[in-house]
Structure 1
Amino acid sequence: MTTPPISPATPVSQPATASLHPFGATPSGEAVGAVELDNGRGIRARILTLGATLQSLSLPDREGRVADVVLGFDEGGRYATEGHYLGSTIGRYANRIAGGRFTLDGVEHHLPVNDGAHHLHGGPDGFHRRIWTVEEIGGGEAAFVRLSLVSVDGDAGYPGTLRAEATYALSADGLGITYRATTDRPTVVGMTNHAYFNLAGTDGGETVLGHRLTIAADAYLPVAPGAIPTGERRAVAGSAFDFREGALVGSRIREAGVEEQLLLGRGYDHNFILRDAGGSLRHIATVEHPGSGRVLELHGTAPGVQVYSGNFLDGTIIGKGGRVYRQSDGLCLEPQPFPDTPNRPDFPSARLDPGEVYEHRILWRFRTT
């Protein structure tokens, strides 16, 4: 089915373009580049070489008014020091690995712990803190950039030299990311993007609690203290986790007395089990902002999606335009393997062997109502 145009006010389309510009430097002096993608139809994105990060995404509303809809920083170097992974590529492994260890082929591998007793998002020096190499940019029907990164054997405790790529492509109605990787030793990998979306626009002071969220999932993974899955696969029916027919993000988020899981995560910070096993690109979730009419449709190939309602944004981060980011100012929808998969043989595998190609696709499609 053809996606409706962004807005009646969208100008006549022009060829999509991509261009590379400087965007400051890290505290250690490494240059940060920014690739500007323009689809020629009113949608623009900026991708940083630091962390292969989605720094901005500008979308028209139903009246054609353009706003940036992702949280981030105005200075490239701040992504090297600030927390919360705003818009960054996560790797080698997204989410948590219990105790900072896993066993592969009988060998135990130890990873740095950076979330209590657990390893989170590749550790303190994960892919989000690395300068990626721009391999190719281009325009035409779609504007794109292909970036690469080499993670050597033993990096953050992971086995195998991993050669990773992240390709962003901005087309007429959407922004896609394709992650690919190869290894020279058996390893585990699970990459994703950690964009915080606010379809109202990130400079308007509105939280995401009034966004309507629909998720194609009948079950989710409850967690123990520390946010490690218990192993149970719990049906969403009759709970605050039921977004099958759509619900406002904030409609039940304060029901901690009824939903212990919301208390443990300070809101939503849980993996939803998607209805099919993944592998092919299919619809995962839809986010709608009634006020602006902006709609984001998420598609992906991963078996799960981590839904995070910005619970730990606590007013200590100053973002774009000097705005202070507070709880629920952004919503993350992170397609990925299940948390702690390397320690859970009953979860869909995250193993990558030599001769195989890891590929994970994410597509955000945009429209207005």
Structure 2
Amino acid sequence: MKIKTKQLQNNWKVFTLTNINGVTVEVLNFGGILTKILTPDKEGRVGNIVLGYKNMLDYQHDPNYFGALIGRVAGRIQNAEFVLDGKTYRLKANEGPNHLHGGNTGLHKVIWNADPFEEEDKLGLKLSYFSKDGENGYPGNVNITVTYTLTNEDELIINYSATTDKTTVLTLTNHTYFNLSGDLKETIHQHHVTMDSSRFAQLDARLLPTGDILDVTNSTFDFRSGRALASGIHSTMDQHNIVGNGYDHYFIFDQKKPYAVVATEPVSGRVLKMKTTQPGMVMYTSNNLGSNALLNEGMSKNYLGVCFETQSSPASLHHDGFPSILLNADERYQEQTVFKFGTLMN
């Protein structure tokens, strides 16, 4: 096991974590960004399974949120405002009239305090940030800690923790785009995903939840027995069309299985298993990624990665029936998401 640190300009640092099996996770203190994850395929060949920029400085103006920590609120807040204890809070609109992923200067744009650590069977990076009352329009001083831990069992554990001195709203996530083919050899069309979810949030043409939560049965949103992502990408169903042909929807977990998501890429044999304390996640299939970004392995294009954004739902600010994002002054925000890397052989 080892940790390497590289100093870049602008007080940016890159931390490289490598376990005893050669699994490597690269983290940038700017935005808490996961820039690379290297894992072996079924033949033992190591490849990068996430999307990242070839030029590190491109993260400074990244419209895609590659690998970044997202907050204070992940997702879209309708009309960039919400009411809390009778007071209306207005946030900066950064996607039409709406507020997306914490705003243009959200957690993906801050330099986090970074403290690497190494223990007997794991190593990692503890990131911390103090978000001041009123920052980006949100109430409350919030102390946030995010810890990335890489274990010798080939797990990447993300622990999120936060406290506030005033009732506020908070739901954090990581916005990594996974591509298990390795080094972007293929798109994600043939990624086979199984998901422990029987319900998802219906979206309107603005990509905002309508307030209706739909049953997945007999639809391309039913991943309970597994399906290829291509089935939704090629579907003519309205819910796929409005997001640019694919998925960009919030799924609510049934919490009946040990892993909320299992993704497999048939050619490489790589398997990604995910479990979480979060009540649901947004699955985004990079429908609108475009071809303008120079990545580590070449130019970007649509459907080159899939995001599993575990979180509660900002739709709860405007609709009943969604997992809440309220955080009171006497509470601690504590959530965990675990990504376990493997192959069809293990």
| TM category, shorter | over 0.9
Work out the CA distance in 2 between the residues paired with 1:336 and 1:348: 9
Q: CA deviation at 1:284?
A: 1.1
Give the equivalent residue in structure 2 for 1:270.
249
**Shift in Å, 1:349:** 1.6
Give, in whole Å, the separation in 1 of the partners of 2:331 and 2:314: 22
Distance change in 2, residues 1:37/1:119 (3 Å): same
Query: Structure 2 CA distance, aligned partners of 1:111 and 1:339?
Result: 13
Give the structure 2 partner of residue 287 of structure 1: 263
How far did 1:139 drift? Answer: 4.0
**Of 20, 31, 40, the match for 2:20:** 40
Give the Cα–Cα distance (whole angstroms) in 2 for the partners of residues 354 and 296 of structure 1: 36
Query: Is the Cα contact below 8 Å between 1:271 and 1:339 reproduced in 2?
Result: no
| 3-state secondary structure, aligned to 2:136 | helix
Q: For the residues of structure 1 that align with 2:255 and 2:213, how far apart are their CA atoms? A: 14
1:121 equivalent among 90, 101, 114: 101
2:218 & 2:322 partners in 1: Cα distance? 24
Match of 1:201 in 2: 182
* 1:311 aligned onto 2:287: yes
What is the deviation of 1:112?
Answer: 0.8
Tell me the amino acid that sits aligned with residue 160 of structure 1: G
Q: How many residues align?
A: 342
Aligned-pair CA distance for 1:101: 0.2
SS of equivalent residue, structure 2 residue 177: coil
Following TM superposition, where does structure 1 have runs of at least 4 consecutive aligned residues deviating by more than 6 angstroms? none
Whole-angstrom distance in 1 between the partners of 2:304 and 2:116: 34
Aligned match of 2:278 in 291, 302, 308?
Answer: 302
Q: Report the CA distance between 1:20 and its aligned residue.
A: 2.1
Structure 2 residues not aligned, in runs of 5+: none
Return the alpha-carbon distance in structure 2 between the equivalents of residues 17 and 140 of structure 1. 11
Structure 1 residue 187, shift from structure 2 partner: 0.3
The one-character-per-residue Cα deviations of 1:262-310 (angstroms, maximum 9, x if unpaired) are 0111120000111049xxx952111001101100001111111101000
Question: Who is 1:214 aligned against?
Answer: 194
Stretches of structure 1 lacking an aligned partner (at least 5 in a row)? 1-15
2:328 counterpart residue number: 353
Q: Distance in 2 between matches of 1:83 and 1:139?
A: 36
In the alignment, the residues of structure 2 paired with residue 202 and residue 119 of structure 1 have an alpha-carbon distance, to the nearest angstrom, of: 33
SS at match of 1:230: strand
Are the aligned partners of 1:188 and 1:342 in contact in 2 as well (CA < 8 Å)? no
In structure 1, the residue corresponding to 2:6 is in which secondary structure? strand
Report Cα offsets for 1:225-273 as digits up to 9, x if no partner.
Answer: 11111111111011111111011110232222xx100011112000011
Residues 209-230 of structure 1: per-residue CA shift (max 9 Å, x gap): 0110111000100111111111
Q: As a proportion of its length, which structure holds more strand?
A: 2
Residue 165 of structure 2 is aligned with which of 177, 184, 207?
184
Q: What's the RMSD between the two structures over aligned residues?
A: 1.4
C-alpha distance in 2, partners of 1:20/1:282? 35
Read off the aligned partner of 1:264 and give its amino acid letter: I
Q: Does the CA contact (< 8 Å) of 1:17 and 1:139 recur in 2?
A: no
Structure 1 residues 341-350 or 174-183, which shifts more? Answer: 341-350
Q: Say whether residues 1:338 and 2:322 are aligned partners.
A: no
TM-score, scaled relative to structure 2? 0.96
After TM superposition, the score normalised by the length of structure 1 is 0.90
Percent identity between matched residues is 35
